[in-house]
Amino acid sequence: MELINEWRAAHGYVINTFQAWIKGHIKQTNLNVEFAQRLKRQKTVIDKLKRRRQDGSPVITDVTAMQDLAGCRLIFDNIQDLRKFQEHLRSSAVLRNVRHIYKNNIEKFDYIRRPKATGYRGVHEVLRHFPRGSDRNSMEKKPWDGLLVEVQLRTRVQHAWATAVEISDLVDRERTKFTDGDSPREKFFALASEIVARRHENVCRSFPDEGLDQLEAEADRLEHQLGVVSRLRLLRAFDVRERLKAHNVLNLIEKNGDLELEVKTFKSPTEAIEYSTQLENDHTSINAVYVRADNPAQLKSAYRNYFNDPVAFVELFDE
């Protein structure tokens, strides 16, 4: 556990380098983009290490194989803006000035063209971190050379759906996000993803043999059976924007049957990471994570799941 936490904490420096690089290019493109960053929670790291394939072999052998310990999240107004920024960040003009290298080809983690079975949509880019002054071909590596950062790109519609899944899982103590099964709950969210994609983004990628009316009728039937959206509609959002700083630890706890959000701020990422690790070993904490954002309003939007805010998805679904 100590090794895992030290390895995770090492990505704090890496993520700081990337957030400065990416935000600089957001300004260059003059796009309306919400940006935030986070380190993967200890519990999620352990969960990934425990996963097995059908033959019993591990999906991930050790933490050095994880590509999303450090993550940056960018949320765009629409798919066109997302693609424009993706192409910009991959352009030869941009890559000529840095030593970071892409681990994946442009189509490998494109879940907009090929949505996951769960309904998840978005684009993931994985880059190897090589700060200025690093020599990728040198045998003598500097600290943090080659560590991985995952950059998530989503539209507001895609982000609303993904947030609703996470909040719903928290409320109902489910794990829809991590499964590829065909339970009624999983089918509902997969249908909901395709419905909002067709209605709000004019994209048809899943359920090719079913028309929109059929999808909506089935989703409506499942909603009456499960009450997923009904529960999301009743949740209130936590408004703690005035307390947010650059380095924040968000901690969801349960008190008297209700979810509550605790926020603690720190002057440095090191202190914040250490505190979030402590919370993850505390049985009273449901979900704790270190996140950084210079703009509190953007942080709240980018991590709606911690602020208990499913409003955007509920509005899309109701329409």
What's the sign of the alpha-carbon dihedral 313, 229, 151, 109? negative
Domain count, the chain: 2
State the Cα–Cα distance between residues 162 and 154, nearest whole angstrom. 10
Q: Any residues with CB less than 8 A from the CB of 194 and at least 6 apart, and which?
A: 115, 119, 204, 205, 206, 207, 215
Clarify whether residues 93 and 193 are in a common domain. Answer: no
Clarify whether residues 239 and 142 are in a common domain. Answer: yes
Clarify whether residues 51 and 193 are in a common domain. Answer: no
Give pLDDT < 50 ranges for the chain: none
Joined tokens for residue 130: 């090589």
**89: three-class secondary structure by DSSP:** helix
pLDDT confidence of residue 299: 75
Clarify whether residues 228 and 241 are in a common domain. Answer: no
pLDDT confidence of residue 264: 93
Clarify whether residues 213 and 124 are in a common domain. Answer: no
Q: If you search the block for the tokens 């509609």, which residue do you land on?
A: 233
Domain boundary among 218, 234, 250: 234
pLDDT confidence of residue 312: 92
Clarify whether residues 124 and 39 are in a common domain. Answer: yes
Domain boundary among 189, 204, 234: 234
pLDDT confidence of residue 243: 82
Helix H segments across the chain?
2-29, 42-50, 79-90, 92-95, 156-172, 184-201, 212-226, 228-234, 269-280, 296-302, 311-318
Clarify whether residues 293 and 271 are in a common domain. Answer: yes
**Average pLDDT of the chain to the nearest whole number:** 88
pLDDT confidence of residue 136: 55
What is the tally of helices (H) and strands (E) in the chain? 11, 8
Q: Any residues with CB less than 8 A from the CB of 136 and at least 6 apart, and which?
A: 99, 101, 130, 145
Domain boundary among 193, 218, 234: 234
The structure's pTM equals 0.83
Clarify whether residues 286 and 172 are in a common domain. Answer: no
pLDDT confidence of residue 134: 57
Clarify whether residues 193 and 247 are in a common domain. Answer: no
251 contacts 262 by C-beta, under 8 angstroms: yes
Clarify whether residues 14 and 79 are in a common domain. Answer: yes
144 HSE (CA, 13 A, CB side): 22
Domain harbouring 64, CATH code: 3.30.460.10
Side by side, which strands form the sheet with 247-255?
A: 101-102, 123-128, 148-155, 70-76, 33-39, 285-292, 247-255, 258-266
Start-to-end Cα distance in the chain: 46
Clarify whether residues 189 and 303 are in a common domain. Answer: no
User: Could you tell me the residue range of the domain that residue 168 belongs to?
Assistant: 163-234
Clarify whether residues 309 and 243 are in a common domain. Answer: yes
